[in-house]
Chains A and B, each alone.
Chain A
Amino acid sequence: MSQTIATPPTVRLDSDVLGKPISRTDGPAKVSGAAKYAAEFGVTGPLWYGYIVSSPIAKGKITKIHADEVLAIPGVQHIFSHENVPSLAWFDRNYKDDVAPGGSPFRPLHEPEILFSLQPVALVVADTFELARYAASVLRIEYDVEKHNTDLEASIGEAYDAPRGKTGFMPPPKPKGDMDKAYQEAPHKIAGEYIHRAQHQNPMEMFATTVDWLGDGKKMKIYDKTQGAPNVQQYLMKIFSLSTDEARVISKFTGGGFGSGLRPQYQVFLAVMAALELKHSIRVVMTRTQMFSFGHRPHTLQKLRLATDDLGQIQALEHKALHETSQFENYTETIVNWAGVLYPSPNTNFDYQLAKLDVYSPLDMRAPGAATGSFALESAIDEMAYAANVDPLDFRLRNYSYEDPIENKPFTSKRLDDCLHEGAARFGWDQRNPEPRSMRDGNQLVGWGVAAGCWDASMQKAAAKAVLSADGHLTVSSATNDQGAGTYVIMTQMAAQTLGLPMKQVTFNLGDTNMPAAPVQGGSWTANSVGAAVKDACQGIGKKLLKLAQKMDNSPLAGVDFEDAQFVDGYIRANEDITRSVAIADILAASGEEKIEADGKAGPNPINMLKYSMHSHNAVFVEVKVDEDLGTIHVTRVVNAVAAGRIMNPKTARSQVLGGTVWGLSMALMEETYLNNELGRFMNHNYAEYHIPVNADIHKIDVIFVEEQDDIASPIGVKGVGEIGMLGVAAAIANAVYHATGKRVRELPLTSDKLL
């Protein structure tokens, strides 16, 4: 069979930008201090400041608030508490946001009851920040204290199967075969218990809201720190009975989120309530301590059992997890399912439970569930490989899932094998002596470890609007977010590429609820979902331009279908004969139109979701050096090989994976929020005592993007890179520490005391 295929154009100039390492378009604003974050916007009239007072107890009831003595201070405007909170929406559903777990969302200042330590109990409003802070510090509050329980390990007996309720929650897979029998009969087996305590997202920017009271009915401009302005807007509209016009939420720059900004936080509730009650502009900023009061990666206990046959083939696989939730919501994440996706086994068992404690609900934190599960799973795989006397890299290839073993569906694409091969080659894995404690550098024990990772490649509904003005400038907008992921630049690239315009002729705007709706930025789905919507909007413009071109006298494009046209360097050309072309500028001039507009949308393909399993993958290789006497651990080298479909911008995508690697290192060696069960309180609630890496902790990190084509997981071939870079890192470090020292540590963070 022969077919004539038009030769695609090989020469592309300014407009060939997708997949190129282009610097962030928002970069100059960020490095010059011009980028405005939530607490930095000016308002039309005078601005008042709100300072939040937090509960010092974990459970009980407020019996008295001595507000009068503080209200007597000149310049103090108001004190909000449960005693004077206005009557608001009653039903739980009004307080539910897009990311809310099942249960009853926390309602700030609604009741005197204290449900968790650092619960907001009052908002002091004053003329200046200094005065509000001072007034809050002298506000006396009396409590009746009740006995709290924040001890997860003491609550295992009351644990229950994690219920449905949170969007996207996947219950643990059903068991297969006979796990216990297979485990008992297998020649090689391991079992282990893994633990890490709470961790907090701790983005650099503290949660903040500036409400600009516009003095026109209830109209407000609400500048909020969030990962999704539309989610915040819906939440506020439902609680305060506001229209979209009244509650316009704006979030142009977000100083990091890592999941903490997925849900509207209580400062936005307090700021909007105060603005509506006082009819005045107000700014409310949390303190760093208060950043430890509204969600965290939960304290998680995991158990794994693995067994293989003589050939090192997995015969039995069991993964169980248990973590806390609050008294009022059932927070869930996907922890144990990944084991079933990555490794086929004829006999499996999975279990996932929650226990209620007197703490705030946990909250998605970068690679939620997967980072937790991956640490335990990939540590156990390493241990199993040693027990079966197989190289840990070979073991992963020998137990490779070529289709999703849980759902019995093919993967849309899975280049994990290439990640393992290319990563190993770059790292020099073949030089590894598998014997623990066999490699040295002076008094440093050297260890090399490997681990694999897996994350969902998913899409959400998203919309965008494109406007091409008469001067040829294209402006595209979507109410999405850029918490540092690079959304501004990759969407500009997508728009420029689709219409064949140079980058400087394209502007992408985001973070305003007046723009077409987009999902919260999370789950690694922004590039895929918003990218496809932007492309759709720009193609809408392209179709209109082509029609206008065909109306021109003697149009060279007469009779050319949109599918047979290309948009390159400011021209529309016929694919089959690129000399048949018209300049977009000429089309605009001839049309006499002031502007051309088009809406675009994108969403998941339900048929493909039924037929296929969609994932991104990575393989991480790590070198650690452990001081033999002191047990101090340095991660001296990391290779992180990622297969995540099309990479829209290797520069910003590499940064995402670098950041993910640092996060994995941080989880492995440093992060832990210490909960004192006597006080029911997180004790190290500041940046000095909650440890994260500094520059001196980070050494050579190599990022590889493995070539991967996938037109099914995404109409634009993109799987997203926000989470995948973090996966595998913590386990690879723990495995490298085992290789260096011969000691298997199953508790994070892996601090030197655990090696001594």
Chain B
Amino acid sequence: MSQTFIQEPLDKAAPHVVPAQAVTLNVNGEDHTIQIAPWTSLLDALREYLNLTGTKKGCDHGQCGACTVLVDGKRINSCLALATVYQGKKIQTIEGLGAEDNLSPLQQAFVDHDAFQCGYCTPGQICSAQGLINEGRCKTEDEVREHMSGNLCRCGAYTNILSAVMEVLHDGNVVVDNGVLITIPVAPTKASSAE
């Protein structure tokens, strides 16, 4: 007995396309105007139109957190955001946090603690951690684990991600060694003693 199946869109309206529109986005302190379809996600706008490929696409469904960017200091999944809605907002991507030869403290902590392997979830982890620090509500290891749990890491670098975030969260005064939080006595900073 033969059975047929027709693969077709739920909406049977004739295929049509909405023309591209000019959208201005403020990314890492600079305005960029691009011509995009209205349904272009902020993630695709960054990656495909602005060549800011540091922001990663891991699922395109808001499930993995690889696309995390900061909007007015708050972390969002850029794959679930339509670019056009984010006009007039301050968008910050991994490229805006620090460059390869001038890393931010969080980026440096990720390198020092080997808080990544393949590196694909890493920009999202760092933007998310920066958002967490901006939020100012997490202090303990368990709180950080919980509030970093929107960012998947398939390599399983969670132990080291926790260490890196804890170090920066406590201004470098703590390290997590094998899951044990060690507080380092605060030394006078170079800035206060030298200048």
Please tell me if the beta carbons of A688 and B63 are within 8 angstroms of each other in the complex.
yes
Q: How far is the CB of A321 from chain B (nearest CB, A)?
A: 26
Please tell me if the beta carbons of B156 and A144 are within 8 angstroms of each other in the complex.
no
Residues of B within 8 A of A288 (CB): 58-61, 63
Please tell me if the beta carbons of B40 and A130 are within 8 angstroms of each other in the complex.
yes
Measured in the bound complex, the distance between the Cα atoms of B120 and A254 in whole Å is 8
Please tell me if the beta carbons of B118 and A693 are within 8 angstroms of each other in the complex.
no
Do A26 and B119 form a contact, CB below 8 Å, given A33-B53, A206-B58, A651-B114?
yes
B171-193, CB < 8 A from A:
178-180
Do A695 and B48 form a contact, CB below 8 Å, given A130-B39, A142-B6, A686-B61?
no
Residues of B within 8 A of A651 (CB): 114
Cβ-based interface call for B168 (8 A): no
Cβ-based interface call for B112 (8 A): yes
Please tell me if the beta carbons of A686 and B95 are within 8 angstroms of each other in the complex.
no
The residue among B99, B100, B121 with the most chain A CB atoms within 10 A of its own CB is: B100
Residues of A within 8 A of B114 (CB): 23-24, 27, 651-652, 654-655
Cβ-based interface call for A253 (8 A): yes
What per-residue 1/0 map shows which CB atoms of B106-146 lie under 8 Å from chain A? Answer: 01101110101111111100100000000000000010111
Contact of B116 among A30, A40, A135, A697 (CB under 8 A): A30
Cβ-based interface call for B15 (8 A): yes
Cβ-based interface call for A202 (8 A): yes
Q: How far is the CB of A12 from chain B (nearest CB, A)?
A: 23
Please tell me if the beta carbons of A141 and B7 are within 8 angstroms of each other in the complex.
yes
Q: How far is the CB of A161 from chain B (nearest CB, A)?
A: 34
Contact of A34 among B57, B100, B121 (CB under 8 A): B100
A55-80, CB < 8 A from B:
55-57, 60, 63, 69-70, 72-75
Cβ-based interface call for B36 (8 A): yes
Residues of B within 8 A of A255 (CB): 56, 118-120
Please tell me if the beta carbons of B52 and A256 are within 8 angstroms of each other in the complex.
no
Cβ-based interface call for B91 (8 A): no
Please tell me if the beta carbons of A130 and B44 are within 8 angstroms of each other in the complex.
yes
* Chain B minimum-CB-distance residue to A49: B48
Do A204 and B159 form a contact, CB below 8 Å, given A33-B93, A138-B9, A142-B6?
no
State how many residues of chain A have any CB contact under 8 Å with chain B.
89
Contact of A32 among B7, B107, B158 (CB under 8 A): B107
Do A70 and B15 form a contact, CB below 8 Å, given A33-B93, A687-B152, A693-B156?
yes
Please tell me if the beta carbons of B95 and A32 are within 8 angstroms of each other in the complex.
yes
Please tell me if the beta carbons of B160 and A655 are within 8 angstroms of each other in the complex.
yes
Do A696 and B155 form a contact, CB below 8 Å, given A24-B114, A34-B100, A75-B17?
no
Interface of B is mostly: loop
Please tell me if the beta carbons of A138 and B5 are within 8 angstroms of each other in the complex.
no
* Chain B minimum-CB-distance residue to A26: B119
Do A138 and B15 form a contact, CB below 8 Å, given A40-B47, A42-B51?
yes
Please tell me if the beta carbons of A33 and B44 are within 8 angstroms of each other in the complex.
no
Measured in the bound complex, the distance between the Cα atoms of B99 and A590 in whole Å is 39
Residues of A within 8 A of B63 (CB): 288, 686-688
Please tell me if the beta carbons of A140 and B100 are within 8 angstroms of each other in the complex.
no
Q: How far is the CB of B102 from chain A (nearest CB, A)?
A: 9
Cβ-based interface call for A143 (8 A): yes
Residues of A within 8 A of B151 (CB): 694-695
Residues of A within 8 A of B146 (CB): 695-696
Please tell me if the beta carbons of B15 and A72 are within 8 angstroms of each other in the complex.
yes
Please tell me if the beta carbons of B118 and A254 are within 8 angstroms of each other in the complex.
yes
Contact of A256 among B48, B107, B118, B123 (CB under 8 A): B118
Cβ-based interface call for A258 (8 A): yes
Q: How far is the CB of B121 from chain A (nearest CB, A)?
A: 5
Residues of B within 8 A of A656 (CB): 117
Measured in the bound complex, the distance between the Cα atoms of B76 and A206 in whole Å is 20
Please tell me if the beta carbons of B9 and A659 are within 8 angstroms of each other in the complex.
no
Stretch at the interface among A178-186, A445-453, A481-489: A481-489
Please tell me if the beta carbons of B4 and A700 are within 8 angstroms of each other in the complex.
no
Residues of A within 8 A of B42 (CB): none
* Chain B minimum-CB-distance residue to A40: B53
Measured in the bound complex, the distance between the Cα atoms of B40 and A256 in whole Å is 27
Please tell me if the beta carbons of B159 and A701 are within 8 angstroms of each other in the complex.
yes
Cβ-based interface call for A45 (8 A): no
Residues of A within 8 A of B53 (CB): 33, 36-37, 39-40
Please tell me if the beta carbons of A658 and B156 are within 8 angstroms of each other in the complex.
yes
Q: How far is the CB of A746 from chain B (nearest CB, A)?
A: 25
Please tell me if the beta carbons of B110 and A31 are within 8 angstroms of each other in the complex.
yes
Please tell me if the beta carbons of B120 and A203 are within 8 angstroms of each other in the complex.
yes
Contact of B5 among A60, A75, A485, A688 (CB under 8 A): A60
Cβ-based interface call for A662 (8 A): yes
* Chain B minimum-CB-distance residue to A139: B7
Contact of B103 among A31, A42, A483 (CB under 8 A): A31
Q: How far is the CB of B44 from chain A (nearest CB, A)?
A: 6
Residues of A within 8 A of B95 (CB): 32-34
Do A203 and B152 form a contact, CB below 8 Å, given A143-B4, A655-B157?
no
A92-149, CB < 8 A from B:
128-131, 134-135, 137-146
Measured in the bound complex, the distance between the Cα atoms of B161 and A694 in whole Å is 11
Residues of B within 8 A of A254 (CB): 118
Please tell me if the beta carbons of A205 and B118 are within 8 angstroms of each other in the complex.
yes
Please tell me if the beta carbons of A655 and B5 are within 8 angstroms of each other in the complex.
no
Q: How far is the CB of B93 from chain A (nearest CB, A)?
A: 7
Q: How far is the CB of B84 from chain A (nearest CB, A)?
A: 12
Do A57 and B149 form a contact, CB below 8 Å, given A40-B53, A255-B119?
no
A677-726, CB < 8 A from B:
686-688, 692-702
Contact of A56 among B7, B110, B117, B118 (CB under 8 A): B7
Do A661 and B156 form a contact, CB below 8 Å, given A75-B17, A144-B2?
yes
Measured in the bound complex, the distance between the Cα atoms of B16 and A501 in whole Å is 62
Q: How far is the CB of A500 from chain B (nearest CB, A)?
A: 25
B47-92, CB < 8 A from A:
47-48, 51-61, 63-64, 66
Contact of B58 among A56, A129, A135, A687 (CB under 8 A): A687
Cβ-based interface call for A287 (8 A): yes
Do A204 and B161 form a contact, CB below 8 Å, given A32-B95, A75-B17, A484-B118?
no
Please tell me if the beta carbons of A29 and B100 are within 8 angstroms of each other in the complex.
yes
Cβ-based interface call for B153 (8 A): yes
Cβ-based interface call for B8 (8 A): yes
Please tell me if the beta carbons of B118 and A145 are within 8 angstroms of each other in the complex.
no
Cβ-based interface call for B162 (8 A): yes
Residues of B within 8 A of A687 (CB): 58-59, 61, 63-64, 152
Cβ-based interface call for A660 (8 A): yes
What per-residue 1/0 map shows which CB atoms of A201-226 lie under 8 Å from chain B? Answer: 01111100000000000000000000
Residues of B within 8 A of A (CB): 2-9, 14-17, 36-37, 39-40, 44, 47-48, 51-61, 63-64, 66, 93-95, 97-101, 103, 107-108, 110-112, 114, 116-123, 126, 142, 144-146, 148-162, 178-180
Beyond the given A135-B15, A205-B118, A693-B158, please list 8 additional residue pairs across the A-B interface where CB-CB is below 8 A: A24-B111, A42-B51, A130-B40, A138-B9, A140-B9, A205-B56, A687-B64, A696-B146
26 contacts between A and B (CB under 8 A): A23-B112, A27-B110, A31-B107, A32-B98, A32-B99, A34-B100, A128-B37, A128-B48, A138-B8, A140-B6, A203-B118, A203-B154, A204-B121, A205-B118, A256-B120, A655-B117, A658-B157, A659-B157, A687-B61, A692-B154, A696-B142, A696-B145, A696-B148, A696-B149, A697-B149, A699-B179
The 8 closest A-B pairs by CB, nearest first: A33-B54, A662-B156, A255-B120, A484-B117, A30-B119, A484-B118, A700-B179, A40-B53
Residues of A within 8 A of B (CB): 23-24, 26-37, 39-40, 42, 53, 55-57, 60, 63, 69-70, 72-75, 128-131, 134-135, 137-146, 202-206, 253-258, 285, 287-288, 483-486, 651-652, 654-656, 658-663, 666, 686-688, 692-702
